Every structure is written in structure tokens, then in C-alpha cells.
Amino acid sequence: MRKYLLLILAVLLFICPAVAEDTEPEAITSTFPTRFFRYLILEDGTIEIIDYIGRTDGREEAPIVPDELDYLSVTKIGKGAFSGHENMIAVLLPDSVIRIGEEAFMDCTSLPYIRIPESTSEIETRAFANCVALKSITIPDSVTWMGEDVFRGCDSLTVIAGRDSYAEQYCRDNKLNYTYPDEL
């Protein structure tokens, strides 16, 4: 019996890597601590949040994105992961997040403020588009690239950016209101 099980295990170990190479990463559902996230495990062994499955009862939301899910670091907020959550009044992103994906928070119409983590280097196209309540966003000097129309439709927004930072230049180029942290 033991030899038979070892033979099956050996065959599975031989076949599975070949199958895994030809397939896309599979979405996995997990919870932390009471909010649900769907995520992908990326090739580098980190996590991309691909969907926030928030409240369905119309009440206000304030999700906390964990720095780890299933012992793997959360490094990316994926395309549209939080988009359309109209009752989101706050979100806390961990310092492990390196990239905020395209349209990640688009149409979160009740979100008034967000702080981008110091670890973040990229904010993709329309990440915060149509967040009409967004009044303030803090962007650290670590951000070195931002896509087009990141803040389209955020007419009341003031970006808090470091002096001579990429974020300051982005604001100048896109005619966005900005201030420096020491002027608050």
C-alpha cells in the first residue's frame, strides 16, 4: 500500500508542474478578519488583491487591507479591486503595497481621504477617477510613476506631495491642486 501511494505521489509531482506552467494563476478567496478579499498569488509569491467583496446592506464601509494574506505579502491592489464601492468612507492600505492598479478605487464616491503607503512606487491609470468626495490624498516621495487621469472627476481634491517629488510634478502637469505636508 505504501509503495502504491509513493508511486501516485511521484506521478503527481511529475505531472503537476507541467500543467501549472500552462495555466493562469487562479483566484483564491480568503478572509481577513471580517472582510472578504479575492486575490491572486503572483509569480514572485506575493498577493494581488483583485476584488473586495464589501458590504451588501448599504451601510458604510471602511476596509483594512492586511499586509499579508495566508502568510504572503500583499503588494498590489489590482485593476478595479475596490471600484464602485459607493459607501466606502475610508480604506487603510498596508506598507507592503507597491502598486495601485488601474481603476482600483474608481467610483468610490464617498471616500474623502486616502494615504498612499511609503512603499508604493506606482499608481496606475484612473486609480481614483470619479471619487467625487475625495478631498485629500497623501502621496509619498516613493511614488515614481502615475498613469493618465488618476484623479479624473475629483474636482475638490488637494494632493499632499513632497517638494520636488514626482507627485508634485504630476500635479503641475495635470493642473491639480497640491500642497506640501509642512504647509498643513
pLDDT tens sequence across 18-50: 444 444 455 555 444 335 788 999 999 999 999
Of 58-72, 88-102, 168-182, give the lowest mean pLDDT range.
58-72
Q: What is the pLDDT of residues 74-101, one digit of tens each?
A: 999 999 999 999 999 999 999 999 999 9
Domains of the chain: 27-183 (3.80.10.10)
Q: What is the pLDDT of residue 17?
A: 43
**Among 181, 184, 158, residue whose Cα is nearest residue 171:** 158
Query: What distance in Å separates the CA atoms of residue 48 and residue 119, rounded to the nearest whole number?
Result: 15
Q: What is the pLDDT of residue 53?
A: 86
Residue 158 pLDDT greater than 80, yes or no: yes
C-alpha distances out from residue 2 to 5, 10, 15, Å: 5, 12, 20
**Among 79, 60, 63, residue whose Cα is nearest residue 126:** 79
Q: What is the pLDDT of residue 167?
A: 98
Displacement of CA 73 from its chain's centroid (Å)? 12
Q: Give the best-scoring range by mean pLDDT among 3-7, 42-46, 85-89, 165-169.
A: 165-169
Residue 13 pLDDT greater than 60, yes or no: no
Q: What is the pLDDT of residue 6?
A: 41
Q: What is the pLDDT of residue 37?
A: 86
C-alpha cell of residue 156: 475638490
C-alpha cell of residue 86: 459607493
| Average pLDDT value for residue range 153-174 | 97
Q: Sorting pLDDT into bands at 50, 70 and 90, what band is 69?
A: confident
Query: What distance in Å separates the CA atoms of residue 10 and residue 81, rounded to the nearest whole number?
Result: 39
Q: What is the pLDDT of residue 153?
A: 97
Q: What is the pLDDT of residues 100-151, one digit of tens each?
A: 999 999 999 999 999 999 999 999 999 999 999 999 999 999 999 999 999 9
Q: Sorting pLDDT into bands at 50, 70 and 90, what band is 184?
A: confident
Residue 57 pLDDT greater than 80, yes or no: no
Pairing assessment for the beta strands 35-41 and 47-53 based on DSSP bridges = antiparallel
